[in-house]
Chains A and B, each alone.
Chain A
Amino acid sequence: MHSEIEGAQSRKPNIGVPAAIRSELESRLSAGSLELPLLPGVAMEITSAAAKEDVDTRTIAEMLKRDAALSAHVLRIVNSPVYSPRAQIVSLQQAVARVGAVKIREIALVIACRTGVFKAKGYEQEIDEVFRHSIGTALFAQEIARNTRNNVEDAFLCGLLHDVGRPVLLQALITMLREAKVVSDREAVLSLVAELHAAAGSALAKAWTLPETVVTALAKHHALSPEQESVSVRIVSLADRFAHLAFEDGALTSAALLGHPALAALEIYPDVLDKIIKRASVVKETIGVMS
């Protein structure tokens, strides 16, 4: 065992994350041996079933039924004002028919992420914020994609998962620190997570066999170089900023967004920008329902 870690056994709080743990985390990440959460079975099944042509409402409803918690969440969400049900939706089959299999897949993925991935003991508040921010980014990414004639479904996935590396790394790091009996400063833990989250996110997307565009977007959403990046990277990067401005840093205005490198790259002129900004209230309402 490394001396630094042995030293930490005395439970003196460390300022930072020990270098050995950091390098162990980095090498697991690059070697692909980081333990990644599985996409819960039902969500995975629904994801692939919803893409098929002959899927019917009953099949999807049957899949949902096998996961009681998921079913309850779906019913709560489809009865929310976002989907403006004409009457109370009481059955799962009704729910699927009302909002569509693709939408149900989105909802299932959101819930699966919420319950299976976005969690880290002791950091509940931070992760909760990350999750709400992710949904906001997903919804804004969809609007940006629609208005720039890019793929709407991929944009949602990219946005939802762009920060998925944060909880994944945090869980791994917490476990490693606990096993090494090291107590690290919260700030230091979170900053290491922030530093490495993009790589962890893309590793997870690969493990879940998500489309290549998603893998790339997760890997590069913070390192935007407009000349080279793919469209999905630009969309997520811009949607990320939209969500920050709309729900965290105060004001979502076109003035605050001007100068974002993705605007020029995606060729979003002020008229289109305003159109997307106007969707903020719908996005906000949807976040409230989904998180």
Chain B
Amino acid sequence: MSDVFDLIVIGGGPAGQKAAVQGAKLGRKVLLVERSRSVGGACVRFGTIPSKTLRETALALGKFRRLTSQVMDVKMPEHTQIESLMTRKEEVIASHESYMGAQLSRNGIEQAQGVARFLSAHELEISAIAGHKRRVSAPFFVIATGSSPRTPDDVPIDHEHILDSDSILSVSYLPESMTVLGSGVIACEYASIFAALGTKVTIIDRSARPLAFLDPEISAHFTRQLSQFGGRYLGGRKLVNVAWDGLSMVETKLDDGQLVRSEKLFCALGRIAQVQGLAVDVAGIGLTARGLIAVDEHGRTAAPHIYAVGDVIGPPALASTSMDQGRRAVCHAFAAEVGAAREATPAGIFTIPELACVGLTEAEAIERHGSALIGRANFKEVARGQISAAEDGLLKLVAHPDTGVILGAHAAGETAADLVHIGQMAILGGMTYHTFIDAIFNFPTYAEGYRIAALDIFGKRAQRIAAE
């Protein structure tokens, strides 16, 4: 006999939680299946939270050095234990988990710990760690099982010398050197954190520049800071061979003949959908060539009553977009009203320096509109940047060549991920750059950068008109 629900959500990460909460808010009987003891998913256990606490330490250390270098000399002890640098990790995880758990119980969502497997298109079997099995069924399902690191055949990951994003924070000591494979968000975030803490980092990737989806001026801030930390980016290279030398180093051979030796190697060459054991084929769902679940604009899979959201469907695979997908899928399932999907989705990359973007890049705007108005504010010109000894930063505004309507905002430097939200609101509100010129901003703040960038556009435009 199956227990019957209105909605069964598989996976308790950001996407699954929001899907479950939305179902409950619509008055439905919801079951949330999660293989871990508490909700949160990779975001809490291996990803966002642990890495961000480590990053916070690296940032604090860097800032302390910048502000006090005349007075104090801060050196890291030899063989620093990584764990000791994630001082607040346990507290942050505990409070995050208890907050999320409370939200689920408050909404009357039943939770089951175990691994799920489709028995048919409408029935699921849940196996607990201790082996108990339970059958459940529902007219609607949401698959939100997340992703796991992709392990290429030619990279022998042993979680000891050659690690992936699930095991990278398990290393005991801060390594003296590290090779990073990949140039995406995860690769660059960890690369900059370790580099800031003193590890000699080498990033290797096929892509000519890191974080290739960003405006090149923004990603250049990352590369410059990386080299200031003593790291380097080797772009346009292919991997020939990776091996642990059996003694003390990992050796990475590149197609240009270079041999890179490092104490540890971190492989961050993408993530694949985590659907092992779920038997999605039984429910009539296949995987794409990239190992992801294909969905339509509402999040429906090939089986229309089964939705998939979050990392299992691939990019952008951000916690923010995943939560939105979860909400939208469930609203669609129960024919509840939902606002139009927004185009202006921001992306925040927590490298050092912080990078963020929303809307069109300069290149995209030129492609779409023939040309673009570009305004820049260097943090050097922003009083707040000078005060905080954080002058290395940039805010770049992209506006429509004729109307001056804001099309994109891109930032690098302190609070960049927060800063682009102002640009996002301008895009959503259809505002022109004039709004920023006429507005008053708090002084001293980074937000003043918007006014400076808008004035930059204004000045350039005036010059161009005068010349014409």
A and B interact: yes
A151 touches B171 (CB 8 A): yes
Cα distance A270–B114 in the bound complex, in angstroms? 11
A53 touches B248 (CB 8 A): yes
Say how far B332's CB is from chain A's closest CB, in angstroms.
32
Q: Which A residue's beta carbon lies closest to that of B82? A: A151
Q: Which of B162-181 contact A (CB under 8 A)?
A: 166-167, 170-173, 176-177
Q: A53-B248, A211-B81 are in contact. Are A269 and B115 (CB under 8 A)?
A: yes
Q: Which of B119-145 contact A (CB under 8 A)?
A: 127, 129-131
Any B CB within 8 A of the CB of A259: yes
Q: Which of A91-149 contact B (CB under 8 A)?
A: 96-102, 145-146, 149
> How many chain A residues touch B (Cβ–Cβ < 8 Å)?
33
**CB-contact partner of A53 in B166, B177, B246, under 8 A:** B177
A151 touches B37 (CB 8 A): no
Cα distance A149–B127 in the bound complex, in angstroms? 22
B172 touches A211 (CB 8 A): yes
B159 touches A269 (CB 8 A): no
A99 touches B246 (CB 8 A): yes
Determine the main DSSP class of A at the interface with B: helix
Residues of the A chain whose Cβ atoms lie less than 8 Å from the Cβ of B158: 146, 152
Say how far B196's CB is from chain A's closest CB, in angstroms.
19
Q: Which of B34-55 contact A (CB under 8 A)?
A: 35-37, 46
Most chain A beta-carbon contacts within 10 A, residue among B79, B172, B277: B172
Determine the main DSSP class of B at the interface with A: loop
Q: A150-B170, A151-B171, A259-B130 are in contact. Are A267 and B159 (CB under 8 A)?
A: no
Q: Which of A251-270 contact B (CB under 8 A)?
A: 258-259, 263-265, 267-270
Any B CB within 8 A of the CB of A179: no
User: Which residues of A are interface residues toward B (Cβ below 8 A)?
Assistant: 50-51, 53, 55, 57, 96-102, 145-146, 149-154, 211-213, 258-259, 263-265, 267-271
User: Which residues of B are interface residues toward A (Cβ below 8 A)?
Assistant: 35-37, 46, 79, 81, 83, 115, 127, 129-131, 158-160, 166-167, 170-173, 176-177, 244-249, 263, 277
17 extra interface residue pairs, beta carbon distance < 8 Å, beyond A146-B159, A263-B129, A264-B129:
A97-B246, A100-B244, A100-B247, A100-B248, A145-B159, A145-B170, A150-B167, A151-B171, A152-B160, A258-B130, A259-B130, A268-B129, A269-B115, A269-B127, A269-B129, A270-B129, A270-B131
Q: List 12 A-B contacts (CB under 8 A).
A: A101-B248, A145-B159, A146-B159, A146-B160, A149-B159, A151-B170, A153-B160, A258-B131, A263-B130, A264-B129, A267-B37, A268-B129
